[in-house]
Amino acid sequence: MTKRSNYFVEGLQGAGKSTFVRMFSDQRKDYTVFREGDYSPIDLAWCAYVTEEAYDGILESYPSLVEEIKSKTVMEGSQRIICYTQILTDIPGFHQNLEKFEIYNANLDRESFENVVCERFLKWKGEGQIFECAFFQNIIENQMLYFMMSEEEILSFYRRLGRILADKPYKIIYLDVEDTGAGIEIIRKERADDKGNELWLPIMLRYLEESPCGKAHNLTGIEGLVAHLEERKALEHRIMQEVFKENAVILKAKDYEMTDVLKRL
């Protein structure tokens, strides 16, 4: 029996990935969807990745949240994965503290980071699964902004990942934003509170500006963000062209018909 394919939905911030995943999964009701912050067999975005010792320390630090933390924790071998953003609490510093245990933002050294990512893909045996932002975004942002890896080094990593995925059924669905600046303007308005206070843009700019790459290349403000995202988009296109060409489907962001998309997959 042929295995059902898996789908990685990718694209720049503001490309409409969440909307696409919702619409696409409505057409694949027997598929399992993994969004950022969920426990995923592959991705660790918005999840703390800790040893048993560190896990016990977290439980001791937040006695009032022990049951909630346990309910959002999955054991993988000697590691504990805490889906901490799913825990609602007013305790000051809780989410900031758990964020330090993510595998991104150079919390792990480059070799350890790449090994964790590759080992999870290697162990993955799934079929009929849809992933949001599990293939490019978080990995490449870490490689570009924190490890300051060259394009060739990042390409080499994805060739390694391509070899791991050689016998697995998957497609990359890439939502291509043609005008990065316009995309940022849209998302900054969409992700604001009911009083018009922007929520997404200040966080994104701080993330960029405080990164080693942001500091080294003086990437500041909207102009710096657009420059970084344009560079990332070009790199992602190159990776798809040179490594995943047979498995990549590129769509114009927010300008597609789902019936046409289904025919292409």
pLDDT tens string 9-63: 999 988 999 999 999 999 999 999 999 999 999 999 999 999 999 999 999 999 9
- pLDDT for 188 equals 87
- pLDDT for 14 equals 86
- pLDDT for 1 equals 58
| Residue 188 zone, left/alpha/beta (φ > 0; ψ -120 to 50; rest) | alpha
- pLDDT for 148 equals 98
pLDDT bucket at 251, cuts 50 / 70 / 90: very high
How much of the chain, in percent, has pLDDT values that exceed 70?
99
CA 75 to chain centre: 21
Residue (of 166, 127, 157) closest to 239 by Cα position: 157
- pLDDT for 265 equals 87
- pLDDT for 215 equals 97
- pLDDT for 3 equals 77
**Tokens at 125, concatenated:** 């045996």
- Edge-to-edge strand ranges of the sheet holding 73-76: 48-51, 79-82, 73-76
- pLDDT for 5 equals 95
Token pair 């300051």 is found at 148
Per-residue DSSP letters for 66-87? HHHHHHTEEEETTEEEE-GGG-
If you ran DSSP here, which 8-state letter would residue 175 be given? E
For residue 130, pLDDT over 90 is answered with yes
Task: For the chain, give the number of residues.
Answer: 265
Residue range 132-141: mean pLDDT, rounded: 96
- pLDDT for 6 equals 97
Strands (E), 19-128: 32-34, 48-51, 73-76, 79-82
- At position 65, the amino acid (one-letter code) is L
Residue range 70-86: mean pLDDT, rounded: 96
Q: Is 87 exposed, middle or buried (0-12, 13-18, 19+ CB in 10 A)?
A: middle
Answer for the pair 104, 141: CB distance below 8 angstroms, yes or no.
Answer: yes
Sign of the Cα pseudo-torsion (44, 165, 29, 76, in order): negative
Q: What is the mean pLDDT of the chain?
A: 95
- pLDDT for 194 equals 80
Q: Which range is least confidently modeled, 106-110, 120-124, 152-156, 261-265?
A: 261-265
Residue range 193-214: mean pLDDT, rounded: 91
φ, ψ at 109 (rounded to 5°):
-70, 165
- pLDDT for 254 equals 86
- pLDDT for 189 equals 84
Q: How many whole angstroms separate alpha carbon 43 and alpha carbon 78? A: 18
Query: Rounded to two decimals, what is the model's pTM?
Result: 0.93
- pLDDT for 115 equals 97
Q: Return the half-sphere exposure (C-beta side, CA atoms, 13 A cut-off) of residue 98.
A: 31
Q: Which range is least confidently modeled, 109-118, 160-169, 197-206, 236-245?
A: 197-206
Q: How many whole angstroms separate alpha carbon 196 and alpha carbon 52? A: 42
- pLDDT for 2 equals 65
Q: Return the half-sphere exposure (C-beta side, CA atoms, 13 A cut-off) of residue 129.
A: 18
Answer for the pair 141, 232: CB distance below 8 angstroms, yes or no.
Answer: yes
How much of the chain, in percent, has pLDDT values that exceed 90?
86
